[in-house]
Amino acid sequence: MAGKRTFTMIKPSAVAAGHAGDILSMIEKAGFRLVAMKLVHLSKHQAGLFYAEHDGKSFYEDLTRFMSSGPIIAAILEKEEAVAEFRKLIGATDPSKADAGTVRKLYGISMTENAVHGSDADATAEREGSFYFSQLDRV
């Protein structure tokens, strides 16, 4: 995915609130191409595997409980400078600090329930995308 692909998840609270379509529309209007997408309901164990690097941190239990509380939409996106461009689109992790018009400002509720996950680096995007999608799933 080096440079051209990134990974995202639309989080359970945003899916439950009916914001998934609006978020996907924002992503496409920003010039991203959907390479792979699926609706998944993670178990707490699966959420723990995905967020393994945070195991032992104070927010880990709440995060894995939240991420397994309902369906998420996982997607691989493509665009030049995908990671950096997507991080601009979604805004700061804390929705109250996110710029106006960003996904998290519009649809986020809190630091945990901030509507979307976005990979922070090319290598992370590759690892996270591979967690959800095999090579056969990617266009």
**Structure tokens, 2:** 């080096």
Question: Of 19, 41, 54, 117, which one is the catalytic site residue?
Answer: 117
Give residue 1's pLDDT: 41
pTM of the model: 0.93
Counting as low any pLDDT under 50, the low residues of the chain are 1
Tell me which architecture the domain covering 5-137 has in CATH.
2-Layer Sandwich (3.30)
pLDDT reported for residue 134? 84
Kindly report the average pLDDT of the chain as a whole number: 94
| Per-domain residue ranges of the chain | 5-137
Q: What is the rounded end-to-end Cα distance, in angstroms, of the chain? A: 12
To the query of whether residue 117 is one of the catalytic residues in this protein, the response is yes
Q: How confident is the model at residue 135, as a pLDDT?
A: 72
Q: How far apart are CA 29 and CA 21, in angstroms?
A: 12
pLDDT recorded at residue 3:
80
- pLDDT tens-digit series, residues 60-77: 999 999 999 999 999 999
Q: Where are the alpha helices (H) located in the chain, listed in sequence order?
A: 12-16, 20-29, 44-50, 60-67, 82-90, 103-107, 122-132
